[in-house]
Amino acid sequence: MRKATPLRTLKTAFVAFGALAMSACVATAPVVKDYSAFRKEQPRSILVLPALNNTGAVNAPEFFLSTISQPFAQRGYYVFPANMVKSLLEEEGLSDPALIYAADTQRLGRLFGCDTALYLSIDRWESQYVVLATSTNVAFQYELRSCKTGEVVWTDSRQMSYSPQANSSGNPLADLIAQAVMAAIEKGAPNYIPLAQQANALAAGTPGQGVPAGPYLPDLYGKDTKQFPSGSE
């Protein structure tokens, strides 16, 4: 039996570490979605519904809704104006998101003449302070349903975090004070809007995860099947 040398042991460790790192990378790689149902639907318009708020932040739905329309419009879809949608829903007795989400999607289609409805939920909207550091966190879920059949044609979820970091000045005491000040500022006025904007942009536009280009983006419409494939492709 050959005796293990330090060099051999080191090589074995590197190989094992490399295999572990590779397996970790594979495990975290996002799976490309199947866009068969989406392409069968061929939507031209999206009705963005008021978000279901699963947090204790009362103002979260209003802030979040102000960031959601643009990314989907930029993907080439007509997005119904949020204020008009809210007013018409209230006239129909659907002022509460829970009531809206319990309603028949086909009813919404008849009411607005839309192709799809985007259901949203806010699962995190918080700022956590822990000794000289503040972390602002948001988490959202997206579900697009056909207004003809009620079928879900696309889903996604996003989580974003932000922790402000002070630049190093070379003076440990000054850096500590600067970090404490920045953490206090973020705690007092959390910067949710940029996080929501980034999450929505990723949800709508990430290849293989977001939504394919719509008809109002003619240069890409119907030409992005490699990035957004159907199951048979």
pLDDT value of residue 163 = 72
Q: Is residue 116 part of a domain?
A: yes
pLDDT for the residue numbered 40 = 95
What is the predicted pLDDT for the residue at 132? 54
Sign of CA dihedral 214, 215, 219, 223: positive
* Residue 130: domain span: 32-163+192-205
Domain membership of residue 218 (yes or no) is no
**How far apart are alpha carbons 210 and 130 in whole angstroms?**
34
Distance CA 141, CA 28 (A): 19
Q: Is 91 part of a structural domain of the chain?
A: yes
pLDDT the model gives residue 164: 53
Could you tell me if 146 and 154 are in contact, meaning their C-beta atoms sit under 8 angstroms apart?
Answer: no
**106 in Cβ contact with 112 (< 8 Å):** no
Residue with tokens 């039996």: 1
Among candidate residues 151, 126, 154, 129, the one with its CA nearest the CA of residue 142: 154
Structural domain contains residue 169:
no
Tell me the Ramachandran region of residue 42: left when phi exceeds 0, alpha when psi lies from -120 to 50, beta otherwise.
left
Number of domains in the chain: 1
47, 116 contact by CB (below 8 A): yes
Decide if 216 is inside a domain: no
Per-residue model confidence (pLDDT) at position 21: 36
Measure Cα distances from 160 to 17, 109, 208, 219, 223 in Å. Answer: 29, 32, 19, 31, 30
**In this structure, are strands 152-162 and 133-146 parallel, antiparallel, or unpaired?**
antiparallel
CA diameter of the chain: 84
Domain-located, residue 65: yes
Provide the CATH number for the domain around residue 36.
Answer: 3.40.50.10610
Report yes or no on 219 lying in a domain: no
Enumerate residues 6+ apart whose C-beta is below 8 A from 180. 132
- Structural domain contains residue 2: no
Q: What is the pLDDT of residue 185?
A: 45
Per-residue pLDDT tens, the chain, 233 aa: give them.
444 444 343 334 333 334 333 333 334 567 889 999 999 999 999 999 999 999 999 999 999 999 999 999 999 999 999 889 989 999 999 989 999 999 999 999 999 999 999 999 999 999 876 655 678 899 999 999 999 999 999 999 999 998 755 455 555 544 444 444 444 444 444 688 999 999 999 999 999 999 999 999 999 999 999 999 987 55
Burial of 74 from C-beta contacts in 10 A (0-12 / 13-18 / 19+):
middle
